[in-house]
Chains A and B, each alone.
Chain A
Amino acid sequence: MIKKHLITRSPLRVFEDATHGGPGKGAVAVLASPKGVGKTACLVHIATDKLFQGKSVIHVSYASRVDYIITWYEDIFKEIAKNHRLRDAVAVHDEIIKNRVIMNFKQDGMKTEQVLRSLEAMITGGKFNAETIIVDGYDFGLAESADLVRFKEFARRMGLEIWFSASLKETGGASFGPDGMPALLAPHAGQIDVLVTLQAKSDAVEIRVVKDHDNPPAGILPLKLDPKTLLLIVKE
């Protein structure tokens, strides 16, 4: 298969169709689930899909080591290339990784202002024309409401889409509001444009759109996580 088909047939098109084109420029999106369900894999899949489209991605990690994140990208790429019998996989790989930068920060003792300053330095000083920023391992429990406001303002000003992952408490113990908003994220609800939750059900991981800008949310999507590869796939 050639790269173009990889884009058009991506399960992420299903997600975009259900959310009026996805978060979009200037938006903040959050992917929330308990630990170990597959958030990082999902975010890396979203990032890889952007990379396939020739867009640039900055992957901000607050927790994991850089080599660990690179391994995620390598694994997800390999799975996609294998599933779709991608032609010239090595050349495609070399081409797209040029458009990915990983930035690693420590959340305690590191102010959001400084993180955003460094992101801006990468985009302007490093002439790295990112369109999407992935933020993984950010602890919403430690976040002040002003921090999310800053991220949101940054997304608007720079014309970026920012995807966060949010780790909810142990499986089953996470509390949700009547609208499906996890309690952890409620204080930041005003800054979140798109919210997606992952929930482990007995047969598969369920993917639900809880918030979609000002549109009525689409609810449970016809997608699931492949339990083996953690890739998003269309439900049969």
Chain B
Amino acid sequence: MATTIERMRNIGISAHIDSGKTTLSERILYYSGKIHRIHEVKGKDGVGATMDHMELERERGITITSAATNVEWAGHAINIIDTPGHVDFTIEVERSLRVLDGAVLVLCSVGGVQSQTITVDRQLRRYDVPRLAFINKCDRVGANPLKVRDQLEEKLKHNAVLMQIPIGLEDQHRGVVDLVAMKALYFEGDDVRTDEVPADLREEAARRRNDLLDAASMFSDELTEAILEDRITEDLIHAAVRRGTIARKLTPVFMGSAYKNKGVQALLDGVVRYLPDPSEVKNVAIDRSAESGASAEVVLATDPEAPAVLLAFKLEDGPYGQLTYIRVYQGRVEKGTELLNTRSGQEIKVGRLIRMHADDMEDITVAAAGDIAALFGIDCASGDTFTDPSLNYSMTSIYVPEPVISLAIKPKDKKALDRMAKALNRFTKEDPTFRTFVDPESHETIIQGMGELHLDVYVERMKREYNAEVETGMPQVAYREALTRKVEFDYTHKKQTGGAGQYGRVIGYIEPMAEGTYEFVNDVKGGRIPREFIPSCDKGFKAAVKKGDLIGFPVTGVRVVLNDGQYHEVDSSDNAFQAAAIGAFRQVYAKAKPQILEPVMKVSVEGPTEFAGAVFGSINQRRGIIVSSIEDGSFSRVDAEVPLSEMFGYSMQLRSLTQGKAEFTMEFLKYGRVPSAVSEELQKLHAEKKARESK
């Protein structure tokens, strides 16, 4: 089906855990005719919801990866991108938000705006994503959608406007009154029955409709005039609400119960009516061919005839090989289109192009600007940008944060070893913040990532998807060492005890640098060190910075400048110069006054104001710095910077301090210097460990 761009929607569904996001996604697929049986989350029938196609997600009831699913509704093609909500998955969140043009914010009619709702709303706001609200679970005891609308206004600062009011709540919940058409909608089986507004709701419906007209008329002079002249049409209201929504100045509020099949069809109508099509959203890329200093941002044209620009936002292993989910931002791709991977510089040719419908797929011939599709048999990493070979754009920033936590893992048996390797290979491709290596000393496999939960999820996925069971060690904070001053070195490596000798002398200096981890500058003049041995020196220094002498963690921010040296016609070799470089670094490292750095997290604690004092205290205890506190009525948020090593067990402490009423999120901020007391303690522990190992 070729869809014109006006009839395309790329949306995400965002929510606090347990607001019924997965159930809602499932119902949307059902009503749009793509699946024929409704599975429940944590499926009693053992099948599970279609969107969460990873086993693990089923078990936890949370959604981790961003699968894209295409559905049709009222002549529109809607791509639903499943968005992870947890902050630990920063890169995944960022990628899935990039490909959205609009979102449905799901709220629980009992729980209302919860801490995670605030987090996901903030993320959507950061990426300027227009949103609709859906107040779910109106069948629950204590359901109060009107209160939740107030919270949207008070806590999230949305200009939240009711598009509907409920007909009955809790076990009496039967449907909604559509305030635009002024009709009652009853959801019976798979059908929607339209009827007169019940008599007892007429007065309230009229009042709420006036509120809606007031809010909508802010965005349309035509509607304002029509109201005055008493010739309002439904189309005028829709157009005004749409304008307000796309400008992110109005949030239309829908309601129902996905579980009880109430309100889903009306929400889908809202999605196509009020959320933008891809041409109404501004997308920018970074032009990597622009000269440094020039403004490198370019606005992309949602035009199928322009040169192609697309983003690979998700990889998946399917039975037929790697599946690469793409969003086309500009131009189009067809079978045979030649594309440039602007990260790797590799050119590829598009083979099979498909569209995903939950668990089955459809071959398509073309994907044009605005569309989401998947490619088969393309070797790339998640987050790569593909362009027409005439361009060199990047859709994502090149910056990838360094992992802050590591965990040793050990396969339970020989079989698990191979499977583990396969899984790790896949994960590192999917997620640049997930790394793995084998520790040369302990021979353990180490995985690294952005937080405890981040690593937990991968350990679980190894078990579920790859049948590789592993044992895990204690999580370790990824410390770093750094120089604080420039020191000169002059080191000779010499060995002449029988046989071939070894000789190499290196002269130069090492100094701290603010950005980057390692830089090697060759400033040797007049062939004092022959050109073929320069890379040997670089290699030696590179090896040396892998482990600092303080606590054996990598040394970061080092610039090595080599400006002189000496060699021997016979005895100099690659090995000799590598050894000289290592020796030089070791010799002067202590003189460079190294210090230990630790990952510092940006921590946000949200909860009732009454616990502010307890929260301030808990952060102070953990060597944290409070950056700011924001109070708005009874709600408060504290932003702080806290070392990761002090954050273990914080969720438990916070729960007990605040009777479970406050919650926190954290993400990596920077590497910061550890205080001297902590530094001494770490060095002592390291010395003890070394002593134990040498025994």
Contacts of B633 in A (CB 8 A): 106, 109-110
Smallest CB separation, B634 vs chain A (Å) = 9
| A126-B631 CB under 8 A given contacts A118-B609, A121-B612 | no
Distance between Cα atoms of A66 and B629 in the complex (Å): 9
A101 to B627, CA, bound (A): 5
Of all chain A residues, which has the CB nearest B639? Answer: A66
The reply to whether B620 and A128 contact each other, CB–CB distance below 8 Å, is yes
Q: Which one of A66, A104, A106, A125 contacts B616 once the chains associate, using CB atoms below 8 Å?
A: A125
With an 8 A cutoff between CB atoms, is B628 at the interface?
yes
Task: Mark out the residues of chain B between 613 and 646 whose CB falls within 8 Å of any chain A CB in the assembled complex.
Answer: 613-614, 616-617, 619-620, 625-633, 636, 639
| Contact call B629/A101, Cβ cutoff below 8 A | yes
Min C-beta distance of A157 to chain B, whole Å: 17
Q: Write out the residue numbers on chain B whose beta carbons fall within 8 Å of the beta carbon of A114.
A: 609, 631
A20 within 8 A of B: no
Q: Are A125 and B617 in contact (CB under 8 A)?
A: yes
Q: Could you count the A-B residue pairs with CB atoms below 8 Å apart for me: how many are there?
A: 69
**Interface 0/1 of A73-89, CB less than 8 Å to B:** 00000000000000000
Which B residues lie within 8 Å of A118 (CB)? 609, 612-613, 629, 631, 636
With A66-B639, A125-B613, A126-B613 given, is the CB distance from A104 to B620 under 8 Å? no
Residues of B within 8 A of A106 (CB): 631-633
- The listed residue (A115, A124, A126) touching B626 by CB distance below 8 A is A126
Residue of A104, A115, A126 touching B628 (CB-CB under 8 A): A104
Task: Determine whether A103 belongs to the interface, using a CB cutoff of 8 Å to chain B.
Answer: yes
Q: Given contacts A114-B609, A128-B620, is CB(A122)–CB(B632) below 8 Å?
A: no
Q: How many Å lie between the Cα of A105 and that of B635 in the bound state?
A: 11
- Within A205-236, the residues touching B (CB, 8 Å) are none
Q: Which of B609, B625, B626, B627 contacts A122 (CB 8 A)?
A: B626
Q: How far is the CB of B512 from chain A (nearest CB, A)?
A: 11
In the complex formed, the residue of B with least CB distance to A121 is: B613
Among candidates B613, B616, B631, B639, residue contacting A105 with C-beta atoms closer than 8 Å? B631
In the complex, which residues of chain A have a beta carbon less than 8 angstroms from the beta carbon of B627?
A: 66, 70, 101-102
Assess A126 versus B630: contact at CB under 8 Å? Given A98-B625, A118-B609.
no
B: number of interface residues (CB 8 Å): 19
Residues of B within 8 A of A115 (CB): 631
Which residues 48-71 in A have Cβ within 8 Å of B in the complex?
Answer: 66, 70
**A71 to B: closest C-beta gap in Å:** 13
Report B-chain residues with C-beta under 8 Å of the C-beta of A103.
628-631
- List A contacts of B639 (CB < 8 A): 66
Chain A interface residue count, CB cutoff 8 Å, equals 23
Residue interface mask B450-489, A partner, CB < 8 A = 1: 0000000000000000000000000000000000000000
A102 touches B625 (CB 8 A): no
Most chain A CB inside 10 Å of its own CB: which residue of B620, B629, B631, B633: B629
List, in ascending order, chain A residues with CB within 8 A of B629's CB: 101-104, 118, 122
User: Do the beta carbons of A104 and B609 come within 8 Å of each other?
Assistant: no
Is A5 engaged at the interface, CB distance under 8 Å to the other chain?
Answer: no
Which residues of the other chain, B, contact A9 by a CB distance below 8 angstroms?
Answer: none
Q: Are A127 and B612 in contact (CB under 8 A)?
A: no
With a CB–CB cut-off of 8 A, which chain B residues contact A110?
A: 631-633
Query: If A103-B631, A118-B631 touch, does A128 touch B626 (CB 8 Å cutoff)?
Result: yes
Closest to A106 in B: B632
Identity of the chain A residue whose Cβ is nearest the Cβ of B630 in the assembled complex: A104
For the complex, what is the distance from the CA of A102 to the CA of B617, rounded to whole Å? 16
B677 to chain A, nearest CB (A): 16
**A102, B628: Cβ atoms under 8 Å?**
yes
Q: Which residue of B lies closest to A115 (CB)?
A: B631
In the complex, chain B residues whose CB is within 8 Å of the CB of A66: 627-628, 630, 639
Q: Is the CB of A124 within 8 A of B613?
A: yes
Cα A160 to Cα B625 in complex, Å, equals 21
A residues near B626, Cβ cutoff 8 Å: 101, 122, 126, 128
- In the bound assembly, the distance between CA atoms of A127 and B626 in angstroms comes to 11
Contacts of B617 in A (CB 8 A): 125-127
Q: Which residues of B have CB within 8 Å of A121? A: 612-613, 616
Give Cα distance in the complex from A109 to B627, angstroms.
24
Q: Within the assembled complex, what's the spacing in Å between the Cα atoms of A105 and B560? A: 49
Q: Which 9 A-B pairs have the closest CB atoms?
A: A126-B616, A121-B613, A125-B613, A102-B628, A104-B630, A125-B617, A66-B628, A125-B616, A127-B620
Q: Which residues of B contact A (CB under 8 A)?
A: 609, 612-614, 616-617, 619-620, 625-633, 636, 639
Q: Give me 15 A-to-B residue pairs in the complex whose CB atoms sit less than 8 angstroms apart, sorted by A's number.
A: A70-B627, A97-B625, A101-B626, A102-B627, A102-B628, A106-B631, A118-B609, A118-B612, A118-B636, A121-B612, A125-B617, A126-B619, A127-B617, A127-B620, A128-B616
